Structures are given as C-alpha cells and as structure tokens.
Structure 1
Amino acid sequence: MGLPAVLRRRWSSRYILCSAAGLYIVICFLFDMPLLSSKLPNYTGKYDVGTIDIEAPCARRNVSDLVFTNTGKPAFELETVLFSLYYPAVDKVRSQKSHLWVPKPLSLTAEGYARFAKINNFLTNSVFTVALWTLVGSTKIPAQVDVPLHGTVKTYQDYQKEHPSDDDDGLPRFPVIVFSHGMASSRTSYTQYCGELASRGFIVAAIEHRDGSGPGSVIMSTDGSTTNRFLARPSELQPEPAMEDYKATGLAFRQAEIEETVRVLREINEGSGKAVYTANSRKEGVDLAEWRGRLMMDRMVLAGHSYGATGALRALKGAPSAERPFVGGIILDPGKSSGPLNDDINVPTMIIHSSSWSKKLTIFHGQPHFAVVKAVAEKILNERHKFAWFMTAKGTTHPSVTDAPLIEPMLLSWTTGATINVREGVLQYVKATQDFMRFLADGQRQGVLKEEVTHPEYDHDIRDDARRAAMNKEIEKYWQIHVAPSTACPYPGLCGIVPD
C-alpha cells in the first residue's frame, strides 16, 4: 500500500525550498537560535561575564521647561536612571535568568523604530513587531544575570596569585567605564563591546538614555507604575524648540543621566549596595552589598558612540569633578548632526573613527567633520598637554562597534560596505580600549597607542618603506593613526609619568 500523495517525495524546487525552510525553523527551535540571524558569540577574555540591570530613583529635576504637546507633561524631567552593568563574574556560575537583546515588550521597540521611520500607526507597528520578533526576538545576551562579582572567597586565592599587589584585603578592584549609546539605540545595542571589556577585567555601565533619542524605553518607578518613552521630535513639544536648542537640551539631559549613574556607582562602592538593590525597580543586584570598595572610582572613564560620543565630549568639560570624576574619554564616531563638539577637555582622550566616518566628506559647522575631530584631539594634545589620539579603524563602518553586524553579518556588511570581519571589528575597538585603560593605569603605551602618526589625513600615508615594514602587522592591517603623541614626547609634563 503506497504512501498518501501528500507524503510522497517530490523533488521540485518548491518542495526543496519549503523543506529547507521547515528544517531551518526546527533547528532554530531545538537549539534556541534566533530566526534569520546569528547568535551573539561568547566573550573571549579571561573572566566570565555577569550583567545586572539597575533602575535607580533620582531626585526629580527638570532639565528644560519643554512639555509634550499631547499630554502637557515635562519632556525632560529626570525620574530614574537605567543602566546595565557588565562585570567580571565568579567563574562558571550560571544564572537561571537571561536578558533578551530586545527587552520586553518587543512591541515597544518596534513602535519606536516605526516612529523613527515616520510611519507610526497600528498596521505598521504590527508589521515592525513581527519583523523584529522574526529577526531577533529570541536573541539573548551571553552574560550571566545577577551572578556574584569576581573575587569572592571562592576565587580569592587564585586571584591573589595573579595580582599580588592588590589591596590588603585581597579583593580585586576593577576600573570603570560609563558608556553612552548613540541615536536610535539603547543600553543593549553594544553588549559585545561592553561584555568583551568586562571579560578583560573592566566594569562597564551602559546607560539607557531617556532623552527621546532611543526607539523605546520603559521608565519603571519604585511604586510599580510605568511610563513608555519614545522618540520625541521638536514638533511634538511645546513651545516648539529650534533644532539646535532641542539638541542642546537632549545632551544636557544625557549629562544629567551620566551624573546620576556615577552617583549610583559611588553609592555601591561606598557600601550602600543593599539600598541600591532594594530601590532597584528591575529587581536585580542581590549581591551588590558585596561590591563595597570593588570599583576603582579613581580610574573611571567616559565612553560614547555617535550621539553618545558627542554627549561624552560635552560631559568631559570640567572633568574630573565630583559629579563627573572621569580621568579619560573614549570617543567613537562623534556625531555629524548632533551639535558642536566640545574641545574644552583636560583629560587623556582616545578618538576612533570608523572608515565610513573618516572616508565620507561631511561639512560640519562650516568645516569638514574629519578636520573638526582632528582639531579636538590636537587641542587636547598640544594646548592642554594631555595625551590624545585620533585614529581610524580600517574596514569598519558606523555600526561596527554595535551588536547589529554580529546578529546580521551578511545583511549589514552588504548594506553598509564594511570589509572587516564583523567580530574582528568589535575586537579591534575592544583591544584599543584595553590599551587606553592600561595606559591610564601605568602610563605605558601599548598596541596601537604605541605608534606614531601614520596618516595625517585619511588614506594619506606618510610612512617610508622601512617604517611600513617594521610596523606591527595587525596594527598595519587595521589602523590609520591621524593624531598621536610623539614617542620623543616634546611636551612638558607628558614624559615618563603616569597620566593624571
């Protein structure tokens, strides 16, 4: 007796395609893989990585008198500050919980992207939600949620062998990086960059900004109430601000969030971790009481990408200070349309452009953007006599430091023109950041920071054959260096000292 017709094998192209699609869906389901995208890879440093979401209440303050036209509520009132901590974790401890790359509710983020596209309605929001769920709905961040910080009793002896110079209590202390995301992004857009740094011994606080520049964020109060925050355009505010005033207000709000993040980190380090956990509306951080004295607040650096880089430059004015105790800045692709770039900076600074950011001629406040950024680095170096670098990561594009190319490697490489391997792109940013953080610790220039200027302008190579042949091959492959302190170190106060 033969099989029913529906079960008979028919080797048509349609049959093969449908079978392949069905098999792919089954494999994704069985192995917990996202449809039509790639898993985020595990981190490569020596430490396991933990993550904690902290939403801390703030003393309410209004950065502006602007209100939403449709509700009359303040548009730039700071209620809480939300950030994700990435940190070196106790080895091989696994959490029962995981963080999704797109936090729930996914429909909130989908609506936010629809608003950015200016097609926000029930139908398009539903289409965006389905598309986002299909692409990344099940993508998880590969960090263990709410596990202990590395250096508890069970790891003390091993750590002390590796770090005999640590404090007398033997508990390791970790430098801190506060990270500010770009436009149309959120605290989860850079988890690989943040997590890779944590796996190398740094604590990273990735802020979620509620200035109206992200696709969507849920403000959760301690009383259980929630407020959705979306993109806010000037036309949706009263009185309607001029674009430059709107950008300045958004950057001021971001700076307030940066300062509140520093305040919370300081409270944790001073022994108030239990109070921070109790007030955390995200209900994470059960071991924060054990973080007392574990953060190197004297080695705190501010970093940002795109709009976040513009905000970081702004917040570095006057640093280090009580509210912003930053001893260095890491500036990635500073914005081309997010307002003027502050050059009043008195701490060591590393600026990195993607190739797409350096290559494209963009007029920025009457000058080429590349020239403006280069002038910022040169002023810090030549006038303030602080170490400063300006470099281009070859083969990268503006999204290369984000998670997006890792999740959609073929699509993003094709649409953005990136030529670097997507994972290598992130790792090059991580390695340069690690070199910068080590420099702040001991004043020794390593890796790409050890090199002299190779390209005063993008793609204008001034090296002779001998220098090109002698250069480290990885640096030669991945970097162009536009501004760097001379190894001869001609500036008073820069030679042979640990940077202040």
Structure 2
Amino acid sequence: MGWTDVLKPRLSVKYIFWALVTSYFSICILFRMPFFSSKLPAYTGPYKVGTIDIEAPVEKRNISEARFANGGKPAFELETVLFSLYYPANKDARSHRPHHHWISRPVGLHAEGYARFAHINNFFTNNLFTFSLWTLAGSTTIPAEVDVPLNGTIKGYRNYDKEHPLDDYGLPRHPVIVFSHGMASSRTSYTQYCAELASRGFVVAAIEHRDGSGPGSVIMSEGKVKHRFHINADQLDPSPETADFKVMQLAYRQAEIEETVRVLRQLNEGIGGDFYRSNPREEGKDLAEWRGRLIVDSMVISGHSYGATGALQALAGGPTYERPFVGAVILDPGKQSGPLNDDIHVPMIIIHSQSWSNSYSIFQGRPHFDVVKDIAVKNLDEHHKFTWFMTSIGTTHPSVTDAPLIEPLLLSWTTGATIEVREGVKQYVLATEDFMHFLSTEQRKGVLKEETTHPRYDEDIRDEDRKQHMDQEVAKYWQIHVAPTTACAAPGLCGVWPDRAGRPGS
C-alpha cells in the first residue's frame, strides 16, 4: 500500500465511523469538553458567579438513636455541615483555582453509592459504575469562579468599626436562599439553577445532606476523613419501618438546614476568617469581608423532590430564629418521602414538572396532585399568605437539575421531556426570581401576575379573550393551578405583606 492509498482512502462505512469517532474525541480534548456529554453553559445574569465550599464543625450529636447493624456505630451522627455557596462576584473576578468538578472527588465514592442504590454493590459493579461516571461526566466542571470576592467587596472592610452603619459604605446586601437537594443527589446536582440565581444577585447555600439519601459524601472532621454512603433501613438494628426511617432522615436534614443558617449568620457577623482557617476544604479566603452583606433574618428555603419535602418541614412553626424563612420555593415535593407538612405561614411558590403533574399517583391515600394543591390552598385561603402552585410545561422531574444539560439527548429520550433543556432550567430560575422580587417589592411580575388558568392539570378555564391577552411566554410554559386573585395586587387586600426586610408584617 502506497502513500496515495493512505491519503485517498476508500469512503467505506468503517472508515467514516472511525473518522467521526477520532474527530469527536480530538475536539473534546482540544476544547476540554467532557466525553459523551455537554459542558455546563455560562450563566446569563448581570453578575459574575463565585462559589465556595464550606465545611463547618457543629455541636457533635446523634439526631437519632438508630445504629448500623454492622458495627453498631450511630447511623445519624451529625459532625459537620457541608454546603456550596453560589454568590454574585466582582465583575472582574478571576480565580487562580481550578473550577470545581461536577462530580466531587473521589468519583469511585459516588459510583459505589449508586451501586448501593441499585442493590448491586460489589467489586465488579462498583468499578463498572466508576468507569461509566468518568466517561459521562468525569471531566465536567462547574463554570463558577472558585473563591473570588463577593460583589462589591472592599478589601479591609472587616477592619472598620463593626458598629458603623453598613449604608455608609454603600455595600449591597444580598438575599439568601438555602437549597436542599433530592434523593440520590448531592449539593452539585443543581449548580446551574443555583448559580443562575447567584448571577441575578442572590446568595444560594446548596447543602450536601449526609442523611443517607445521597450516593456518597466525604466528611472531614477533626483531621479525619470519613465516607458516608447511601443508607437503607435494613442496614439498621433494629430495622425501622419506612415511615420511621423517613422521619429520621428528615430530622437529620432539618438539623443540617439549621446549622447552615447558623454559619450564614456568623459569616454576616464578621467571623468568616475563622471559618476560612478551620475549613478543611481550604476555601473562603475573603469570607472575612462578608460582614453585614447578607440578609440573614429573612431567608428563603427551597428544595427539590425529597429536598422539597424537607423544605416544607423546615417551615413548620416558623419563621423562627433557627429557621428564619419568610418564603419558600418548593419544586416537585416528594411522592415517597413521608407526609408533606401543611403548617405553613409564609408566602410560597410550588412548581411541579409536567411529569409530576400528569402522572396519577396515590400519596398518603389520595392523589398526589390533590395533596399538594390542598397545601397551597390552605396557605392561601386559611393562613392568608400569597401562594402559587403551577406546572412547568414540557419538563420532567430531572429538568431543574444539571443532568439534562450534561446529557441532553440521553435525558430527553429516557425521561420524555419536550422542553429544550436550557429553557427548562431558565423557566425555573425566572419563576424563582419573580418570587424573590415579590417578597422584596410587593409587586407581582412574570408568571406571578396571572390568576389561575388550570384548576387541575390540563383543565383550561380561560376563555378566548383571556388566552389572547395573556402573556404568551407565560402561557407557553406554565399551567397555573393556584394563585391569589389579582384583586390582591394592592398591599393589605389579601394576606399579610412582608416588610422591606422580608419579615412578615403584622
């Protein structure tokens, strides 16, 4: 075979296949793209986004008396709280640190966790899962800049008189959202949603729950490293009933939420330098400059799936000092996560994916959709708090997560989502932003301006005139099941408005 044969090969099917494969891998390597997946996109808000991982010690305690059958160690011992902060950063912020990996290291830890979920935990499957994770998303990174200054940071601000009014420096204060992830997820499963909100001026604390609901997590405490895996009820002695097991997990999650609030308060008090020096994640060099920069007495709680169930629970009896939540963004509250709390006395928006609304499922002896709608109606009609319940058209349960962005074709095909993946996340972000705007300004905009369009899923009550005059972007992407009447558009007509700090009025 001569050089001419090499330079002018036959265009066989085999040749074309290998040429495409070689080109694909070459492009991935050249542009640092993960194999078989897409990069997470850049954020679209006016702010650059920073991120910091914080692991803070807590008062060591057992949330439950439950112990592992193998070894007898406590199953729900709280040692530290871990969360990722996403926040608006200085416009010219550039990090010298590498971007965070979407799959936290070690990858094998998460792979073994997923194998445990599937009840096929052994040497062969663990390595197979590890290879699969590396192949699909092992090199995927989160676009946020690591450990850069908070927007408007003035170097040395921490050295000023702590009693001096913050307004004298003209530094912005940022609303805070505490976010709780779902089952089989982690703090990095929703980075696009959290960071998009940060790019719009909000500080988001995405918690990593160590309640055994995630695939795996690394606990760094007192100089030691421990691995926490997924937990099944049958691993405990005595083995609890499923309902009791969920109570234990949700109690653990609430403790982590309260500890996250505690840390955020202390950052706002100006002791961020202490957290940086003790942070085993070795991030947060500018946290000392965060004094007075957070609105900590009126936070918002949010969560997806099991995290939404936990977020609802955290609202019971509130707002309190430990749980100062004056609003809630509830995304696909869980169908298999125990009863949903309806003791809520703050404004709230509940968003169902279309797959969550259009599937008929029995929950606590009733249709799940009806249970969720009744929670919204009770908060609106009995507790007189502004509440919305709606369905995001074209989405499925994973649409608010990063997974469809990383694997758009695979996830669309397997889940049946019809919305473009970036548009799916965008709609969740815009609705959340509209809700945060409402809490701070008392004004309804976007999807929150509309009244009920569909009392039940796919039951359209609009006449032709309303269909024509309704905001077409809202009509395209939303079905609204519960909403305050537009007669509530003026303060004092319906319910209780929050004051300027976001606290409930009187």
Q: Deviations over 1:416-459 (max 9, x none)?
A: 11111100000100000001001110111111111100000000
The corresponding residue for 2:128 is: 127
Do the aligned residues in 2 keep the contact of 1:385 with 1:493 (CA within 8 Å)?
A: no
Do the aligned residues in 2 keep the contact of 1:451 with 1:484 (CA within 8 Å)?
A: yes
Shift of 1:153: 3.8
Which amino acid in structure 2 is aligned with residue 200 of structure 1? Answer: R
The corresponding residue for 2:278 is: 279
Which amino acid in structure 2 is aligned with residue 101 of structure 1? Answer: W
Which amino acid in structure 2 is aligned with residue 296 of structure 1? Answer: I
Shift of 1:96: 2.3
Do the aligned residues in 2 keep the contact of 1:358 with 1:370 (CA within 8 Å)?
A: yes
Q: Deviations over 1:219-270 (max 9, x none)?
A: 011x321111111001111111111000011000000000000000000001
The corresponding residue for 2:161 is: none
The corresponding residue for 1:303 is: 302
Which amino acid in structure 2 is aligned with residue 91 of structure 1? Answer: K
The corresponding residue for 1:162 is: none
Do the aligned residues in 1 keep the contact of 2:247 with 2:338 (CA within 8 Å)?
A: yes
Shift of 1:7: 7.4
- Call closer, same or farther: CA 1:130–1:61 in 2, change over 3 Å: same
> 1-side partners of 2:5 and 2:21: how far apart?
21
Do the aligned residues in 1 keep the contact of 2:384 with 2:495 (CA within 8 Å)?
A: no
> 2-side partners of 1:205 and 1:413: how far apart?
28
Shift of 1:66: 0.7
Which amino acid in structure 1 is aligned with residue 262 of structure 2? Answer: R
> 2-side partners of 1:106 and 1:497: how far apart?
46
> 2-side partners of 1:395 and 1:431: how far apart?
16
Do the aligned residues in 1 keep the contact of 2:385 with 2:495 (CA within 8 Å)?
A: no
Which amino acid in structure 2 is aligned with residue 336 of structure 1? Answer: K
TM superposition score normalised by structure 1: 0.95
Shift of 1:282: 0.6
> 1-side partners of 2:41 and 2:485: how far apart?
37
> 2-side partners of 1:296 and 1:316: how far apart?
18
Q: Secondary structure at the match of 2:167?
A: coil
Matched, 1:198 2:198: yes
Do the aligned residues in 2 keep the contact of 1:182 with 1:306 (CA within 8 Å)?
A: yes
The corresponding residue for 1:55 is: 55
Residues 87-126 of structure 1 aligned to structure 2 (within 5 Å): 87-97=87-97, 98-126=99-127
Which amino acid in structure 2 is aligned with residue 118 of structure 1? Answer: H
Which amino acid in structure 2 is aligned with residue 328 of structure 1? Answer: G
Shift of 1:309: 0.2
Q: Secondary structure at the match of 1:313?
A: helix
The corresponding residue for 2:162 is: none
The corresponding residue for 1:288 is: 287
Matched, 1:145 2:146: yes
Shift of 1:168: 3.0
Do the aligned residues in 2 keep the contact of 1:87 with 1:199 (CA within 8 Å)?
A: yes
Shift of 1:298: 2.9
Q: Secondary structure at the match of 1:125?
A: helix
Shift of 1:71: 2.2
> 2-side partners of 1:495 and 1:444: how far apart?
14
Which amino acid in structure 2 is aligned with residue 340 of structure 1? Answer: P
Q: How many residues align?
A: 489
The corresponding residue for 1:26 is: 26
Shift of 1:465: 0.5
Shift of 1:169: 1.9
Q: What is the RMSD computed on CA atoms of the aligned residues?
A: 1.7
The corresponding residue for 2:242 is: 243
Q: Secondary structure at the match of 2:3?
A: coil
Structure 2 gap ranges (5+): 158-165
The corresponding residue for 1:46 is: 46
Q: Deviations over 1:144-201 (max 9, x none)?
A: 00000000249x9xxxxxxxxx933201110000000000000000000000000000
Q: Secondary structure at the match of 2:322?
A: coil
> 2-side partners of 1:92 and 1:477: how far apart?
37
Shift of 1:10: 3.6
The corresponding residue for 1:381 is: 380
Shift of 1:279: 1.6
> 1-side partners of 2:388 and 2:340: how far apart?
16
The corresponding residue for 1:159 is: none
* 145-154 vs 115-124, greater mean Cα deviation: 145-154
Shift of 1:497: 4.4
Shift of 1:272: 0.8
> 2-side partners of 1:453 and 1:30: how far apart?
50
The corresponding residue for 1:441 is: 440
The corresponding residue for 1:82 is: 82
Q: Deviations over 1:120-155 (max 9, x none)?
A: 11111111111110110000000000000000249x
Q: Secondary structure at the match of 2:271?
A: helix
Query: Alignment identity in percent?
Result: 67
Residues 164-313 of structure 1 aligned to structure 2 (within 5 Å): 167-221=167-221, 223-313=222-312
The corresponding residue for 2:163 is: none
- Call closer, same or farther: CA 1:308–1:496 in 2, change over 3 Å: closer
Do the aligned residues in 2 keep the contact of 1:348 with 1:386 (CA within 8 Å)?
A: yes
Which amino acid in structure 2 is aligned with residue 88 of structure 1? Answer: P
Q: Secondary structure at the match of 1:167?
A: helix
Which amino acid in structure 1 is aligned with residue 338 of structure 2? Answer: G
Which amino acid in structure 1 is aligned with residue 343 of structure 2? Answer: D
> 1-side partners of 2:497 and 2:219: how far apart?
45
Do the aligned residues in 2 keep the contact of 1:385 with 1:492 (CA within 8 Å)?
A: no
Shift of 1:319: 1.5
Do the aligned residues in 1 keep the contact of 2:386 with 2:495 (CA within 8 Å)?
A: no
> 2-side partners of 1:106 and 1:476: how far apart?
42
TM superposition score normalised by structure 2: 0.94
Shift of 1:308: 0.2
Matched, 1:408 2:414: no
Q: Secondary structure at the match of 1:238?
A: coil
